Amino acid sequence: MRCTILAIGSRGDVHPLIALGAGLHTAGHTVCVASHADFEADVRARGMAFHPLTGNAARFFSGPAATIMRDRTRNAREFSGFFDNYLDLFFQQLLAGCWEASQDAEVILCWSWLSGIGLALAERLRVPVFQVASYPVDFPTTAFPNPFHGDLAASAAGVTTAAENLDTWLQFSETAQVGHATRQQWRQEVLGLAPRTWQEEVALTQQMPHLFGYSPAVLPKPADWPAWAYVTGYWSLAAPQDYAPTEEISAFLAAHPRPVALGFSSQVGRNSQQLTELAVAALVQLRQPAILIAGFGGLKSAGRGAVTLPEYILPVRSIPYDWLLPRVAAMVHQGGAGSVALALAAGVPSLAVAFGYDQAMWGQRIAALGAGAPPLAAATLTAEQLAAAIRRLVEDDAFRRGAARISTILQQEDGVANAVRVVEEVVARQSISFAV
């Protein structure tokens, strides 16, 4: 099959889809990944074709616009206003790129936040289209709240009722209005399709097969989800086999075996200097050896010239997590699905400092599994809170046992192989017809 994967977003969004594409490629299918130029090397290194889409993930997610978008995602009206004022031109260019990338595809796998795009392509091209995501989306449930909507603290606490959970999903469905006018213009003028209301788009999208790249052992599939919602297991992109640490990193690990890893990947706080100072203060309180990972900018000022660091704290710009995690005692991360997957798979106790999006939910799942401490909110984080949580991660044997227990389960899963099998079986059944 000729498969096109439409993947935009941060590294945590795109890397799982590259891993899925690599699995399809290994299974003998022809794969083209359409994404930002940042990810071209990752795609081509795994033998797949690449089609450029507009945007630069590193620039966007290290800047203030990403922070504003993240903070407004939890309110459909505020998110819509941000989209109209900042993202509409980007969206127009994105629609054009998705159409160009998909025209010779026999199967399309479309990132779930490309709202309405997968549906339109399914109608126009008459080929199977799968929605794909590394977090729960699109299907309402009473089992847990929508991770992208409502009060972040309530989501982190995991104390909502079934009725409250369902209500968050129904309210979040209104985000389908975001970009609706632009999308309908594209449907009509480029694809030659009749327009649809946003409510129709939501209903029809829920009839499409979905692949969810997280483990059912971490977040079980709700009983009220349909059969065509497949929770396959994680899609993890392995680090290059030829990775070798710098002399500085090797020397640090030799001097400080099993430090704590602390980094927030693509998440940027409103004051990264203050966040860095807070993290360092927590580590100094404990005299805890640590590796500070700057990522896209959450700890962008973490450097010996910007913050005074003791010799037992090493700042790095980036480092492959799957190489680092077996060498650390615990990890503090932002709660992104990819970081959580890697920490759990490595059997490392961890803590989510949640900035937004789905991070509080994954942080709560870590705690529920006994694999780490309850999540903390980045907006109200104090050095004392962080120090207390890190101490528990390092000293509490129950966390180590919980992390080891879930790691054993995850090591037996093969989410990519499961997803590839679903794609092949569904396409073979020829059971997909979304045009109505």
Residue 240 lies in a domain: no
313: which strand partners? 290
Task: Report, as an integer, the average pLDDT of 298-316.
Answer: 71
- In a shared domain, residues 19 and 77: yes
pLDDT grade, residue 434 (50/70/90)? very low
For residue 24, pLDDT over 50 is answered with yes
Using alpha carbons, select from 179, 188, 185, 58 the residue that is nearest to residue 123: 188
pLDDT value for 157: 60
DSSP 310-327: -TTEEEES---HHHHGGG
Residue 239 lies in a domain: no
Range list of H helices, 83-116: 88-102
Q: State the average pLDDT for the chain.
A: 89
pLDDT value for 303: 43
Residue 41 lies in a domain: yes
Residue 392 lies in a domain: yes
Using alpha carbons, select from 215, 201, 39 the residue that is nearest to residue 112: 201
Residue 368 lies in a domain: yes
pLDDT value for 239: 75
CA dist list (Å): 417 to 24, 26, 131, 233, 412: 8, 10, 17, 9, 12
Q: Which distant-in-sequence residues (6+ apart) come within 8 Å of 45 by Cβ?
A: 240
pLDDT value for 152: 52
Pair 278, 303: CB distance under 8 Å:
no
- In a shared domain, residues 420 and 404: no
Of 71-85, 171-185, 195-209, 269-283, the range with the lowest mean pLDDT is 71-85
Pair 212, 134: CB distance under 8 Å:
yes
Of 89-98, 227-236, 252-261, 327-336, the range with the lowest mean pLDDT is 89-98
Between the ranges 16-30, 47-61, 147-161, where is the mean pLDDT highest? 16-30
Domain limits for position 405: 247-411
CA dist list (Å): 96 to 93, 102, 196: 5, 10, 19
- In a shared domain, residues 65 and 166: yes
Kindly report the CA angle at 432 between 99 and 209, in degrees rounded to 5?
80
- In a shared domain, residues 9 and 99: yes
For residue 431, pLDDT over 70 is answered with no
pLDDT tens, residue by residue, 70-100:
666 666 677 777 777 778 888 899 999 999 9
- Measured between alpha carbons, how far is 149 from 26 in angstroms, rounded to an integer? 37
Pair 377, 356: CB distance under 8 Å:
no
Of 180-194, 210-224, 259-273, 333-347, the range with the lowest mean pLDDT is 259-273
CA dist list (Å): 265 to 252, 295, 429: 21, 4, 40
Residue 117 lies in a domain: yes
- Measured between alpha carbons, how far is 290 from 253 in angstroms, rounded to an integer? 10
- In a shared domain, residues 72 and 130: yes
Residue 104 lies in a domain: yes
- Measured between alpha carbons, how far is 57 from 302 in angstroms, rounded to an integer? 21
- In a shared domain, residues 253 and 191: no
- Measured between alpha carbons, how far is 340 from 46 in angstroms, rounded to an integer? 24
Range list of H helices, 256-336: 272-286, 321-324
Pair 390, 330: CB distance under 8 Å:
yes
The CATH number assigned to the domain holding 10 equals: 3.40.50.2000
pLDDT value for 59: 73
- In a shared domain, residues 180 and 194: yes
Q: Which position has the higher pLDDT, 170 or 69? A: 170
For the record, the structure tokens of 279 come out as 């993290």
Structural element, H or E, at residue 26: helix 11-26
pLDDT tens, residue by residue, 5-16:
999 988 888 999
pLDDT value for 74: 67
211: which strand partners? 132, 230
- In a shared domain, residues 204 and 315: no
- In a shared domain, residues 227 and 282: no
pLDDT value for 295: 62
Which amino acid would we find at residue 270?
R
- Measured between alpha carbons, how far is 335 from 218 in angstroms, rounded to an integer? 13
Q: How many domains does the chain contain in total?
A: 2
pLDDT value for 216: 98
Pair 241, 161: CB distance under 8 Å:
no
- In a shared domain, residues 224 and 260: no
Pair 64, 86: CB distance under 8 Å:
no
Using alpha carbons, select from 174, 235, 223 the residue that is nearest to residue 199: 174
- Measured between alpha carbons, how far is 362 from 136 in angstroms, rounded to an integer? 11
Torsion, Cα 207 69 59 5, to 10 degrees, reads 0
- In a shared domain, residues 219 and 256: no
- In a shared domain, residues 47 and 186: yes
Residue 358 lies in a domain: yes
